[in-house]
Copies of this chain bind each other. A is one copy, B any other.
Amino acid sequence: MRRERWFILPAVDSGVRVLHIGIDIGGTNIAVGLVSNGSILCKEAVKTSKGISDKKLTDDIFKVISELCKKTGVDVSEIKSIGIGAPGAPDVKNGKTGRLVNITNAEFDFRGEFKRYTDADVFVDNDANCAAIGEAESGAARGCANVVMITLGTGVGAGIIINNKLNGGFNGAAGEIGHTTIVYNGEQCNCGNKGCYEAYASVTALIRYTKAAADKNPDSIIAEIASKSGIDGMTAFTAAKKGDKTAEEVIDKYTEYVSVGIANIINILQPEMIVIGGGISKEGEYLLNPIRAKVKDKVFTKDTGYAEIKAAELANDAGILGAAMLFKYRDI
């Protein structure tokens, strides 16, 4: 008996720190975090300037990585992997970003550049994918093997996790649910097509609905707020909370369209969790309750069960956490 226990004890995981670096490349900002067991131990922003060289940028990032390690009392050599989440369409296979318009205005070969410093595996993926992984590892979708995270922003993006693996498709470009047709021959979309989900469910669309409603109803609270502080994605919610009927109609219209795309994804993929991200998800139940009710009307398995719908929990940290966990969600 004593011998058996002797062998079991060292296998217990707790206390063992497996360290990863997650890097979230935003429009103008780069956030670097040291991650262990699904938590950010410490993080820091990297200052950058437009036109910076690949070498200088990697040097700057690695300096921050070294500082984070020093702070935490670990050696850089203990880092098992570095993950980078970047906007656009990265070259996942070769560890390069797509064009980083606001930084280098070119592709960036992170895997190649980091070789100068470390033997850690380097992964690069789309920022929407990283956010989905972050929420699946440590956020709203903790413990779910099948997750779709839909980010409602200027556009509509998605990260798809199936059986605990990221689904990028054969070319790494999957998840463009914003450019699926939901209203054949409908509103013009930026992509050139008409009737795309993004043209109806993005915050850009919500602002369009808000503006039209305010113009049409100059005596409404929504019009009053709009004329005082301008219109953003929150305007309709702020007015609705004050009992404005016009604002309620705007939210009804917006959540109706949002629910169409969510129901489509559920009918196709049947994930166990849909996570709604983007700044607007901070509206919480004001946004989610109408969406849930409208999705239920449209889902094919409404009687036998379908995905839960939750707001993202991690805000900006999802990008760092997800990037740090890329090694687990990618087979290459």
The one of B167, B173, B179 in contact with A162, judged by C-beta atoms closer than 8 angstroms, is B167
Chain A 249-275 against B: per-residue CB contact (8 Å), 1 yes, 0 no?
000000001001001110111111000
Copies of the chain in the assembly: 2
A217 is an interface residue with CB less than 8 A from chain B: no
- A170-B145 contact, Cβ under 8 Å, with A177-B267, A267-B179: yes
By beta carbon, the residue of chain B nearest A192 is B297
For A256, give the chain B residue with the smallest CB separation.
Answer: B184
Say yes or no: A182-B184 contact (C-beta < 8 A), given A174-B269, A272-B170, A305-B171.
yes
Question: CB within 8 Å of B: which of A143-172?
Answer: 144-146, 158, 160, 162-163, 165, 167-172
Residues of A within 8 A of B (CB): 89, 144-146, 158, 160, 162-163, 165, 167-177, 179-184, 186, 191, 193, 257, 260, 263-265, 267-272, 297-298, 300-301, 304-307, 331
Q: With contacts A171-B304, A181-B182, A304-B171 known, is A176 near B268, CB below 8 A?
A: yes
A89, A171, A174, A268 pick with most chain B CB within 10 angstroms: A268
A297, B169: Cα distance in complex, Å: 20
Docked pose: A173 CA to B158 CA in angstroms = 21
Closest chain-B Cβ to A185's Cβ sits at a distance in Å of: 8
Pair A270/B184 contact, Cβ less than 8 Å: no
- Closest B residue to A163 by CB, please name it: B165
Residues of B within 8 A of A165 (CB): 163
Residues of chain B within 8 A of A304, CB atoms compared = 89, 171, 173
